[in-house]
Structure formats: structure tokens, C-alpha cells
Structure 1
């Protein structure tokens, strides 16, 4: 029974927060979906939300939904801009997509204060500095 279910483990897919530009006054950040596979993924749906504690109070952001018909292999899609003020919260991205008739899903959570320069890498495919969860 359970052994008969397909292994729909998500591999070679990442969510990344990239530093787009920086000035004296501010930094501009975007969240991306990166498909590290050689094959496309289809019917991609991502929900995003932030939650946690700020100044001793529980805080929740709006839940946003994003849909992409397809993301090519070795490609990326811009999901949304992200405000630095939410970096102190849990930033959750729940991804689901299809490869053929198989559905895959995974929850990616950037923990509070994890989006910091100390954790930066050169993001694959994007070639920008940022933080990535795969």
C-alpha cells in the first residue's frame, strides 16, 4: 500500500531571496523560484506568508498566491518583492508543481534573521548574491 505510492520528493528546486540592488537609503530584495532540473515543471503554484513575533506581539502578513504555467529547466521565475522588515519573521513559501502527471509539493521556510549577508551565496542560474533553500 504505502510502498506502492510514488516517491514524490522534491529535488533540484530552490526558493531564493536575492539582493537586487543596494543604495545608501535602501536595499531591494526579490524572491525567486529556481528550477535546477534539466526538465520543465508545470502548473506551478506558490503561496507565501510571513508570521512570527515582532516587538512582543504575534504578527501575520497576508497570504499571497502565485501561479506559473511552466518553469523551464535551468531557469527561474520572479515570485515577489520582499520587504526587509519581514526578515525578522518566518517567511514561508509553499510550492506545488507537476512533472507529467505526478504532483510534487514542499514547504520552504526562511527562519527569522536567516536572510543576512553572512549566509549569502552566489545563487545558481540567477548569478546574484542571496540566500537559498533547496
Structure 2
């Protein structure tokens, strides 16, 4: 039954939206990353993203990573600045060993901006982080 299902707490896994320079197009871009700050690899990482407000809802974007090595990060998607006026969710599911973990990371509307930049773990970049 429901009381028998144990969902462990996700720790040391983050989602960050980073403002970085794109050498190819010579632009400043906002990119979303998943960060594994654990000492173990994450397997079968599934990420489902969407944005919403009372009036608008974006398409659902899905990404799968077979393995996210320990102490590493991977790009999820490029984000257009128009999306920052919406609440943006990143639903992350992964396996650590034989245990499944699940967490929803939420960037509330208008929280992704240049004034909110902070150092991002494992990356030599600044961005907005959700733990």
C-alpha cells in the first residue's frame, strides 16, 4: 500500500540555469543543467520540463541520460528568456544502485535573472540554482 512505499530524499543533485557565452553564435545564452554532486554515478536519468502560469503552459520537453557520472553535470536545454516569466519545473527521476529517486525542481516566475546569479557547484560558471 501507499504506506509501504519509501521514497528516499534526493540530496546533492541540483538543477541550475546558467548564463554563458555561446562561441558559435556570439550570444549570451541561458542553459539548464543537471548537476550530480554525489560520489556515485546516477543511472537512467529522466528529466521532464515544462513551464506554466495561470494563462500559459509550454510544451513538455523530455530528456534521458543513461549515466550521469559522479561529480559531473550535463546540459538539459537552452532556455529562452520569455520562459522566465513562467514557473519552470524540472521533474528528475533516476536510479542510484537499485533505488529509484524522484524530485521536482521549481524555478518560480521571474527568479531567473542576472541579479540572482551565484556560483554553481562543480561548474566554473554563475547561474540560478535550485536544490
For normalisation by structure 2, the TM-score amounts to: 0.90
Matched, 1:123 2:120: yes
Aligned residues: 127
Distance 2:97 2:51 in 1: 31
Structure 1 unaligned residues grouped into runs of 5+: none
Show the counterpart of 1:19: 19
Partner of 1:52 in structure 2? 53
Provide the C-alpha distance between the structure 1 equivalents of 2:66 and 2:75, rounded to a whole number of angstroms: 13
Match of 2:71 in 1: 74
Residue 129 of structure 1: CA displacement?
1.1
> In 2, Cα distance between the equivalents of 1:6 and 1:63?
27
Once the 2 structures are TM-superposed, how far is the Cα of residue 7 of structure 1 from its aligned partner? 5.2
The Cα shift of 1:117 comes to 2.1
Superposed CA offset, 1:31-55 (max 9, x none):
00000101111000000001114xx
Structure 2 residue matching 1:86: 3-state secondary structure: helix
Following TM superposition, by how much is the alpha carbon of 1:120 offset from its aligned partner in structure 2, in angstroms? 1.0
Report if aligned partners of 2:52, 2:87 keep a CA contact under 8 Å in 1. Answer: yes
Quote the offset at 1:118 in angstroms: 2.2
- SS of corresponding position for 1:81: strand
Which aligned segments of 4 or more residues in structure 1 are displaced greater than 2 angstroms? 4-7
Give RMSD over aligned pairs.
1.8
How far the C-alpha of 1:127 sits from its partner, in A, is 1.3
SS at match of 1:59: coil
Aligned mates of 1:125, 1:26 — CA distance in 2: 23
> What's the TM-score once normalised by structure 1's chain length?
0.88
